[in-house]
Amino acid sequence: MIGLLQRVSEAAVRVDGQTVGAIGPGLMVLVCAEKGDTEREADLLLTKLLGYRVFSDEAGKMNRSVTDTGGGLLLVPQFTLAADTKSGTRPSFSPAAAPEDGRRLFEHAVRQARERHGIVETGVFGADMKVSLINDGPVTFWLRIDPVGAAR
């Protein structure tokens, strides 16, 4: 599983002109399942996202998590994070999970996030989404959880 997290002042997702998810201060996370990923990897990624210390403490150090701050969490499915860009000028998406697996794992992550965190909004799997955000910092991190035994 891959998560591209961005610390934001605000973020929103629109589908067909309608806002489907929006948060104030918190994390906007693009989420991608790769071949071989299971609920285990989705759970590990969520645990890391909720505990990742990217918010400033009283001393100005990145020492607080979205859980610590009570900020929002906007999860947006994005299979293109799995692109293989090693050769040519056109990406290959063969490393991405099959659509049905990607949807299942994204929905699992959302259910788990809603059980564990107060403010959780989402994009729509498979939709043409328009994502807007104000990146706070900017602060952006790419996180990856490899399947057990994977040779990546």
DSSP state of 117: -
DSSP state of 87: S
Q: How far is CA 65 from the centre of its chain?
A: 15
Catalytic residue among 6, 55, 79, 122: 79
Is 18 in the active site?
no
Is 78 in the active site?
yes
Q: Which residues contact 53 (CB under 8 A, 6 or more apart)?
A: 62, 63, 64, 65, 68
Catalytic residue among 78, 112, 122, 125: 78
Is 80 in the active site?
yes
Contact, 100 vs 55, CB < 8 A? no
Contact, 143 vs 52, CB < 8 A? yes
3-state secondary structure of 91: coil
Q: Catalytic positions, please?
A: 78-80
